[in-house]
Every structure is written in structure tokens, then in C-alpha cells.
Amino acid sequence: MLASRGCVGRGRVRPRAGLLLVTSFLALGGCDITKITANGTSELFRRAAPGFEQHWDYELAGEAMPSNIMQMEGLLRVVPENEIIIMNAVRLYISYGYGWIEDRVEQLQAENDYAAAEEQMDRAKYMYLRARDLAKHYIALEHEGFDEAYAGGLEEFEAWLQEEFEDEEDVDGLFWAGYAWGSYINASKDDMVAVADLPFAEALVKRSVELDPEYFHGAGLTFLAVVATSAPGADLDAAEPMWERALEATERKNLIVLVNMARTYAVRRQDRELYVSLLREVLEAGDIAPEMRLTNMVAKRRAERYLRQVDQRIPPQ
């Protein structure tokens, strides 16, 4: 059993045991060298990931992402149950979809090239769907019953989440599955079948926030605030403290929070002063959080564009 787990493990083998295990496997002749190499590579990716997130060149990072995605997909053919590789792939798909493809969509829309924008949005949808399916696979490695709970309706799904997920270590799968699903729905607003699933995506993120509200720089809090603000007939008074909580949790250093608050909450309020203030705060912020440098560069690109569009989004009185 020990040898079997080492061959097809999920990226969690203790480093000190690694050499002994590999030597034993080779001696026994019962292990796939390719799987050993792939599993070892996953730990390298985990340790190297912060270097990518702290990179300073938006264009270079965007050019690198497709090859990184393809590399993850190739590794998943070899070790489909490696949790580190699965999660790397999930985050890459979502990051590339939101930070680069949807950025291009907005550029094309601003140029009135709606046909090209739709083509790019279709690409983003695929990225988000693939990320959601991979995140579901990640969850299924430890927790059975996702599809059955979903088929039983929202109440049964929420009960399953409460029963199955009780530890902070569960947050990865919960958050990214919900975030990917929600991103797909946001990109598919004309598809009522897709939109009908929003409560399920929201339930996943809610459970992740219950377990760790500050996970991934408060991204779950921001997601829930966006959903609460964007819903038809939204209670904006109820949404306001959700935004305040997200800002407080991130100390206003995650600039994506401010951009999304401007794009959704300030626009729904038609509060031009708040809209401009939030976006200027983003643009005037320096390198305030090196661990979020690339994310904040994405936020600054959005803020610059949205500030130019202020008259379209909130007409002057």
C-alpha cells in the first residue's frame, strides 16, 4: 500500500522520505518513473508559484500563461489525482480568463468590435468551465456526492456542504469551484440555464468564507459582495457592509476589491463621487502588496479603463 500511494500520490509525500521511497520503488520495479517525476515536479510548481504572482510585467505574464496551462494539462494526463497540479491548473485557467481574455473583451467592446469580443468571451467561458470541472475533480478526491447533492436542489446542496466540509484545508476546492462556476455564469448572462446555477456557485463560496474569510486575499468576500450587489432588485444597503468587510479584511491592498466595488456597487448607486474616488485610489496606489503585484496590475488596467468610461456608466447630473 505504501508503494502504491507513492507512485500515484497527490503531491503530499514528506520530503525526507522521498529519496528512500523512490529508491525502494525502483528496486521493486513496480513504479512508473514518469509518475514519480510528475509528482516531484508538482512540489516545484507549488514553491515557485509566488514568483509568478509577484511578477511586474503584465504582458510577459500573459504570454507565459498559455504554455503553463498546457504544461499542467500534460502533467494531469500522467498524474490526474495530484492535488497541487489540479489546483495550479484551476488557478491558471481562471487568472488567464479574467486577467487577460476578459481584458481583451473589454478593449474590443470599447472599439465597438462586438463580434471579436464575443469570440474572446467564448474562450473565457471555456477557461472557466474547465477550471470548474477540475475544481470539482479536486473536491471529489476527498468528498463524494457533489453531483448527487446538486441534483437534489439548492437546499440539499447546502446541507451537503455543511456536512462534508468542516476544515480550513477544504477551502481551496470550495472557493475555486464556486469562483470558476460564478465566472462562467457572469460570462454567460444571456444563458438562463447557466444563470440558474448561480445560487450553487454562491453556496460554495459562502462555505469557503465561513471556514476562512481571508482566504486568497479576501476573494470570497469580494465574490459574495459582487453577487449581492449585482442581483436584480439588490438591497444595496445590505450589500454595503459586505464591501466594507472585504475592504477591511484586505486592508485596501487587494485593488481588485476596489475596482469591483466601483464597477458594481458605485454604478448601481449611481454614485459618481464614490466611483471616481475608488478608481483613483487604485491608480494612485504604489506597489503596496508585492504578494499581489500581478493581481493589482490587472486591477490598475481595469481602473484606468473604467475611469475613462465614467460618463457612460454614471452620466453627469
Q: Return d(Cα 11, Cα 141) in angstroms, integer.
A: 13
Residue 237 resides in a domain: yes
User: What are the helix (H) ranges across 212-254?
Assistant: 215-230, 236-250
- Per residue in 188-204, pLDDT tens? 999 999 999 999 999 99
Q: Return d(Cα 95, Cα 166) in angstroms, integer.
A: 27
Residue 72 resides in a domain: no
Structural domain of 230: 221-316
Residue 55 resides in a domain: no
pTM of structure: 0.88
Residue 106 resides in a domain: no
Q: Return d(Cα 164, Cα 174) in angstroms, integer.
A: 11
Closest C-alpha to 216, from 297, 131, 143, 289: 289
- Per residue in 92-149, pLDDT tens? 999 999 999 999 999 999 999 999 999 999 999 999 999 999 999 999 999 999 999 9
CB of 271 within 8 A of CB of 314? yes
- Mean pLDDT for 270-289 is 98
Residue 243 resides in a domain: yes
Q: Return d(Cα 303, Cα 261) in angstroms, integer.
A: 11
Count up the domains in the chain and report the number. 1
Residue 215 resides in a domain: no
- Per residue in 17-70, pLDDT tens? 444 434 444 344 455 777 777 666 767 777 777 888 889 999 999 999 999 999
Q: What is the CB neighbour count within 10 angstroms for residue 152?
A: 13
Q: Return d(Cα 95, Cα 144) in angstroms, integer.
A: 27
Residue 239 resides in a domain: yes
List of residues 6+ apart from 4 with CB closer than 8 A: none
Residue 265 resides in a domain: yes
| DSSP class of 15 | H
Look up residue 126 and give its amino acid. Y
Distance from the first to the final alpha carbon of the chain: 72
